Structure 1
Amino acid sequence: MKARWDIFCSVVDNYGDIGVTWRLARQLVVEHACDVRLWVDDLRAFERMCPQINVQREQQWQEGVDVRHWPAQWLATPSADVVIAAFACQLPPEYMEAMAACERAPLWMNLDYLSAEDWVVGCHRLPSVKFKGVQKYFFFPGFRSGTGGLLREAGLLQQRQAFQQDARAQQQFLQSLGVFPANGARLMSLFAYENAALAGWLDVLATDGRATHLLVPEGRILGDMQRWLGVDRLAAGDIHRRDGLTVQVLPFVRQEQYDRLLWCCEFNAVRGEDSFVRAQWAGRPLLWHIYRQDEDIHLDKLDAFLELYTAALSPAAKAAVVALWQAWNTEGDMAQPWKMLLAHWPEVAAHAETWCLEQGLQADLATALVQFYESWI
């Protein structure tokens, strides 16, 4: 019989939480023949990346996944064989009682946030708390051997490489989004939280000697972009030009389309967790806007990733990457770090592809979860 999986997603940061759990749910169904229920407390956020979702329905099937609205007033529901609390969300007390009432307790996992910090390897798959005899386990995605790896669908890297070698396919895809970059223009994407450093970066992009076409999916950075452009409002479809920089606002697109957008671009600025991982699978230089946390503990996570990611770079290229990422995440001056990065572009670009292929040698997150369940039973 198929293993029954329940994945609980409490939407905190609009799209990152649901982005990860939606990808995971679909992959468990398609590649591992699992029976998956995805519980989501905010279907409006889900609708942005799955437009066919009916936000009024309590239950519906989408791409083989049993999508359930996670109501404030929980109804009696049998426990699954595997229960995933994504990003440490709290399960409904009634559901926890249902887990405890099972003749055979389910495998209960806390799927934690992605981190490159050293301690993650030591904590991965360790037991956590118990609830009436039901043991919870830590499960950490990660970049090192000994972690749960990263979300990566079967054949993804081969699809990406084929797409990037097909100029016509890229052109057709961009045209489907209304994107027509000038010949020779640097194509970049920007998906970020609010950031006061944006104006300085846009200034240098507009004057760095090469035309840039910047694609900006709808999101929280648009307010800063409006101020720099001096306009009252930005919406999907808007195009503005200043000197050598063209800014184009894109509508929110499905995850598969966003992947291809990243594959088309020479450089991708991303945020949170889901787009961060997808930018790495694009094999192109990237810039991560990490989610801000109290007491700046997010900067420790940033530094841990940078130390791992830049280990194989020359000292000068490493310094350029680190300077750019730190300036972006501390709202510092972006002009000089961007010029430093451009000076080392060939090495940084080659490294992005190498890093991608090295990470692709590890088991993907969905496979690691299934393997843990099979070893647990």
Structure 2
Amino acid sequence: MLSRSPAPSLLTVLSSAPMTTRPDWDVFCKVIDNFGDIGVCWRLARQLANEYAASVRLWVDDLDSFRLLCPQRDPALSIECVQGVEVRRWESLFTAVTPARVVLESFACRIPENFVDRMAQLSPPPLWINLDYLSAEAWVSGCHLLPSPHAHLPLVKYFFFPGFTTDTGGLLRERDLRTRRRCFAASTDLQNDWWRALGSAAPRAGTLLVSLFAYENTAIGDLLHAWEVSGRPVCCLAPCSRTLPAIAAYAGRALAAGDRLQRGALEIRILPFVEQLRYDSLLWLCDLNFVRGEDSFVRAQWAARPLVWQIYPQQEAAHLIKLDAFLARYCAMLPQATAVVLCEFWQAWNAGRVETAQWQQLAASLPLLHEHALRWEARLAAQDDLVKQLVRFSASRL
């Protein structure tokens, strides 16, 4: 799921004609986990095009998943210019094209060999960058920007690591993101417009507003039961995603976008899939955001609201090392008691079992966690964003 250009025409399809000159950037993306990888790449490609006037080709192997993020796409077209980016279907039999000046493969997706061969035939060759996954682990800074010469061709690949410190590649953030968030938070009209566009009304004052976006998780039922007996009303906004079967099991009936369920102190509203532009507003609106993977995780941090992260599960629980590494950084500025509450809840959520008492402790900590989220966001915003660093690095090598 998961930016917005100041121009209202951002949501329009600009052209279906391919680029006629060599582009500045080729961005390759394999859709592995529904929306996470393509969510990052789509934001990155748009930012390059809209903030740096770069010509960008985005190669995507699964245009059906991509269409949910960008409903304006015509699924019948394998080449289409949308929001300033040329989007191309990444076919198994790869098209013979001239590589861009910068070639970015996302998340070790392994670009086609015949394309790599064409890269080697150019003089000078393109700058080749592998954009890796986000991690807070200490080793990341030591590997950021390391070169890796090709075994047989006169090419060098550079590893580019997003991160939370100044010695990493930073995080995706559009130039106007913080301004848009502040305007939204200060404007009742903008918030009411968001609810009207959803065909709904804001819950009554005093309700705890929570967004729920997660992978399959056996703790979802635990959480819903805890909210049902909460002393404070809870409104859960759940976009249609992999959480739906667990919510339906709790409801005892099938659910679809537009459905509502009231049980005790809990109201559940099932939202349609929320595209990126409106998902940011959802995060800004809520008091607490449950997020997953990488794209929504980063956006939740820019929302400056308390969050709960479900990290992408890996074999042999390797993901829990990454979870703990982020928690160590994120909680470093928290009072110890609050840090313990947050860590225990995140770990329980990722383990698939949440006790009602754990939720009650987290709920009681939300005022402190909100203040902390504001400080954390400001600290991250003092660093250069990911695309700015990519553009600066490419300029230094070309």
TM-score by length of 1: 0.98
Among residues 120, 125, 128, which one is paired with 2:140 in the alignment? Answer: 120
Q: Deviations 1:22-73 (Å, cap 9, x if unpaired)? A: 0000000111111100000000000001001112211110011011110111
Partner of 1:221: 243
Question: In 1, distance between residues paired with 2:112 and 2:23?
Answer: 21
SS at match of 2:73: coil
Partner-residue secondary structure (3-state), 2:47: helix
CA displacement 1:115-140 (0-9 Å, x = unmatched): 00000000000012415011001000
- Cα offset for 1:79? 0.9
Is residue 2:393 matched to residue 1:372?
yes
The answer to whether structure 1 residue 188 and structure 2 residue 201 are counterparts is no
Equivalence for 2:175? 154
Aligned-pair identity (%): 47
The corresponding residue for 1:4 is 24
CA contact (8 A) 1:152 1:364 kept: yes
Q: How does 1:315-326 map to 2 (within 5 A)?
A: 315-326=336-347
Residue type at the aligned position of 1:357? A
User: RMSD over aligned Cα, in angstroms?
Assistant: 1.2
Is 1:2–1:33's contact at 8 Å kept on the other side of the alignment? no
Show the 5 A alignment for 1:286-325. 286-325=307-346
Question: What's the counterpart of residue 171 of structure 1?
Answer: 192
Query: Is the contact made by 2:49 and 2:84 (CA closer than 8 Å) also made in structure 1?
Result: yes
Within 2, Cα distance between the matches of 1:297 and 1:253?
30
Corresponding position: 1:272 with 2:290: no
Amino acid at match of 2:377: C
User: 2:226 — aligned with what?
Assistant: 204
Distance 2:120 2:357 in 1: 57
Residues 1:106 and 2:123 aligned together: no
Describe the superposition over 1:251-306 as per-residue Cα deviations: whole angstroms up to 9, x where unpaired. 11221100001110011001111000011111100000100001100000000000
Shift of 1:343: 2.2
TM-score w.r.t. length of structure 2: 0.92
Q: Unpaired runs of 5+ in structure 2?
A: 1-20
Query: Per-residue deviation at 1:208?
Result: 1.4
Distance (whole Å) between structure 2 residues aligned to residue 193 and residue 92 of structure 1: 30
Query: Distance in 1 between the 2:223 and 2:71 partners?
Result: 33
User: Residues 2 and 34 of structure 1 are in contact (CA less than 8 Å); yes or no, is this contact kept in structure 2?
Assistant: no
Q: Which of 87, 101, 123 is the matching residue for 1:81?
A: 101
2:9 aligned partner: none
Task: Tell me if structure 1 keeps the 8 A contact 2:22–2:98.
Answer: no
Partner SS state of residue 374, structure 1: helix
User: Between Structure 1 and Structure 2, how many residues are aligned?
Assistant: 376
Give 1:92 deviation, angstroms: 0.8
Residues 213 and 239, structure 2, Cα contact 8 Å, conserved in 1? yes
Contact 1:8–1:89 (CA under 8 A) maintained in structure 2: yes
Q: Separation in 1 of the partners of 2:23 and 2:73?
A: 25
Partner of 2:122: helix, strand, or coil? coil
8 Å Cα contact 2:259-2:269 kept in structure 1: yes
**Structure 1 residue 95, shift from structure 2 partner:** 0.5
Give structure 1 stretches of 5+ with no counterpart. none
